[in-house]
Amino acid sequence: MCKRYAILAIGAFDYIENKTGNMLIRNRPGEVVSVIDPEKAGQTAQQVLGWGGDIPCVATFSDSKEFSPTHLVIGAAPQGGTLNDAYRTDIND
């Protein structure tokens, strides 16, 4: 079974804050199916980062389900190592 990653990067999808997610986009672009960041929804990884091709940015985890992800990756390291309320809400919904 092929891995299909959705990267959760709420408010953090850029070339600095989303280090884990960016590593996957750079090194495993065929396995990344979406990036979740409502601030960048409607754009592609290529438009945001300058690499990554047509990987879409979507607003919510629910929106990413149309791309059939098999794994959810926390793309940015939250301060203090705990998930903030925005991340928790999106995951739980």
- Here the CATH number for the domain that contains residue 23 is 3.40.50.720
Are the C-beta atoms of residues 4 and 64 closer than 8 Å to each other?
A: no
User: For each of the chain's 93 residues, which pLDDT tens digit applies?
Assistant: 799 999 999 998 987 888 899 999 999 999 999 999 999 999 999 999 999 999 999 999 999 999 999 999 999 877 777 888 888 888 887
Task: Say how far apart CA 53 and CA 22 lie, in whole Å.
Answer: 12
Residue numbers of the domain that contains 66: 5-92
Amino acid at 61: F
Tell the residue number behind the tokens 């389900």, with chain if given. 65
Residue 40: per-residue pLDDT: 98
**What six digits make up the tokens of 30?**
């065929």
- The number of domains in the chain is 1
Q: First vs last Cα of the chain: how many Å apart?
A: 26
| Residue 64, CB-side half-sphere exposure with 13 Å CA sphere | 30
Residue 82: per-residue pLDDT: 82
| Residue ranges with strand state E in 1-93 | 5-8, 32-36, 57-58, 71-74
Write down the pTM of the prediction: 0.90
Residue 80: per-residue pLDDT: 79
